[in-house]
Amino acid sequence: MEHKEYKKLHAEWYELVAAGIDHSKEIDFWAKCIKESGEPVLELGSGTGRVLVPLLERGFEIVGIDTSKDMMDRCLAICKTKGLQAELHEQSMLEFDLPRKFSSIFLTDGLGLFTSDQDIRATFERVMAHLKLGGLFVFYFELVISKGNAGTTGNKWGSWNGDWVKGPDDVVIAWRHRQKYDPNTHIWNSLFTIEKFIGGTLIETEANERVGRYFTVDEAMNYANSAGFEDIKATDSFTEDPPSNASKEIIVRCKKPAKKLDY
């Protein structure tokens, strides 16, 4: 599979930006899910370990899969400096095959990675096959942009925007992207360009083509229902509050049936 995103500079950018944000509320939420449903845990698309590493630090047994070697190498390097043992597999969530089952599986970043229903169905089938009976599947997604909801990145479709972040050793990473959104399919795409400077001199550039999708709550619940999950519950992200008009990000929790079903 050829990857057009999450390459070397993108991975460095992702790690630097994530390090500057307080994710503790989100990590508390995932930890609560694990306490309720149990271990081992599998994170789909574990990336640089933004979620996986703090959960390992809290003592949970969590395994990651990802298709980007650059993202996984960063995760492994962080684990090494922290003295943590990480089990990562370079596999796609669309077709992963691991030799054990999990009590909890998380798609942390989330349903929006998929633009086709077929890929969602394939992933949910793999999740079902890797969950223990009664196991918990939790996935995140961003809501369809509506008049009252300009999305998590603001409604800047069609115009270039960007920012920069400082790293160690006089590194500056600047990025810009121009996003296009199709209100009919709820699919967005963007060209995400990154420039790395050291001491003010441009030393590396990279372009990542990014694509993603927004969903309605009903669509997300239907995917889970069609895949055979039960106890399906949607909440405002990382809370126990039901989705509201102000919601932008949603979490869906659902379970594999506790009894084996004859399909």
Ligand X SMILES: C[S@@+](CC[C@H](N)C(=O)[O-])C[C@H]1O[C@@H](n2cnc3c(N)ncnc32)[C@H](O)[C@@H]1O
Name the residues that contact ligand X, by CB under 6 A: 6, 45-47, 50-51, 65-68, 71, 92-94, 108-109, 113
> What is the smallest separation between the CB atom of 202 and ligand X, expressed in angstroms?
25
SS3 state at 186: coil
Q: Residue 234 and residue 107: Cα distance in Å, rounded? A: 14
Q: Of 51, 59, 114, 115, which is closest to residue 78 (Cα–Cα)? A: 51
> What is the smallest separation between the CB atom of 185 and ligand X, expressed in angstroms?
19
Q: For ligand X, give the closer residue by CB, 96 or 157.
A: 96
Tokens 């990590």 appear where? 27
Nearest residue by C-beta to ligand X? 47
> What is the smallest separation between the CB atom of 68 and ligand X, expressed in angstroms?
3
Q: Residue 220 and residue 254: Cα distance in Å, rounded? A: 11
> What is the smallest separation between the CB atom of 194 and ligand X, expressed in angstroms?
14
Residue 235 φ/ψ, nearest 5 degrees: -135, 160
Tokens 């939790």 appear where? 138
Q: For ligand X, give the closer residue by CB, 172 or 211.
A: 211
> What is the smallest separation between the CB atom of 257 and ligand X, expressed in angstroms?
25
> What is the smallest separation between the CB atom of 238 and ligand X, expressed in angstroms?
12
Q: For ligand X, give the closer residue by CB, 92 or 216.
A: 92
SS3 state at 121: helix
> 76, 15 in Cβ contact below 8 A?
no
**Torsion angle, alpha carbons of 71, 186, 250, 179, to 10:** 50
DSSP string, 63-96: EEEES-HHHHHHHHHHHHHHT---EEEE--TTT-
Q: For ligand X, give the closer residue by CB, 127 or 143.
A: 127
Q: For ligand X, give the closer residue by CB, 211 or 257.
A: 211
Q: For ligand X, give the closer residue by CB, 65 or 127.
A: 65
Q: Give the count of beta carbons closer than 10 Å to the beta carbon of residue 218.
A: 9
